Amino acid sequence: MSLKDAALSVRENAYAPYSNFKVGAAIRSGSGVVYSGCNVENVAYPEGTCAEAGAIAAMVAAGERDLTEVYVVASSPQPVPPCGGCRQKLAEFGRADVKVTLATADGKEQETTIGQLLPGAFGAAHMEGT
């Protein structure tokens, strides 16, 4: 299945009764497997867990720690940029040149990279020699 189809499909399962904003994310891992996630909200923390975080959690739970491509889709008029926390999570498991496609449910796409989403990212190298 393509990343786009996986993201569109998992988006249907999003649990977003507070925002009414359904998001789907799919990532390809180093082994080529596609993992997907949707946003899951709850009454105490209505922002809940983002779709990207869900897809990353599925990849890590399966024993993989390397992502090579990302696709995020939401039912917005314009492609939705990932939140700050998700940018840091993407940067944890993907190189700066990893392609990230942001899309709308009706097919509008915007291509970017993890490095463009999180320039100047804090990384393990910054703690070397401390």
Binding footprint of ligand THU on the chain (CB under 6 A): 16, 19, 21, 23, 39, 41, 47-48, 50-52, 72, 80, 82-83, 86
Nearer to ligand THU, 31 or 108 (CB): 108
Could you give the CA distance from residue 106 to residue 53 in angstroms, rounded to a whole number? 23
Of 52, 64, 92, 111, catalytic: 52
Beta carbon of residue 103, minimum distance to ligand THU (angstroms, whole number): 11
Residue 64 annotated in active site: no
Beta carbon of residue 102, minimum distance to ligand THU (angstroms, whole number): 8
Nearer to ligand THU, 59 or 72 (CB): 72
> What DSSP assignment string belongs to 87-119?
HHHHHHHEEEEEEEEEEETTS-EEEEEHHHHST
Beta carbon of residue 41, minimum distance to ligand THU (angstroms, whole number): 5
Sheet containing 23-29: order of strands: 34-38, 23-29, 67-74, 94-104, 109-113
Could you give the CA distance from residue 56 to residue 36 in angstroms, rounded to a whole number? 8
The residue to which tokens 């700050």 are assigned: 84
Nearer to ligand THU, 34 or 48 (CB): 48
Token couple for 101: 């496609």
**Residues that are catalytic:** 52
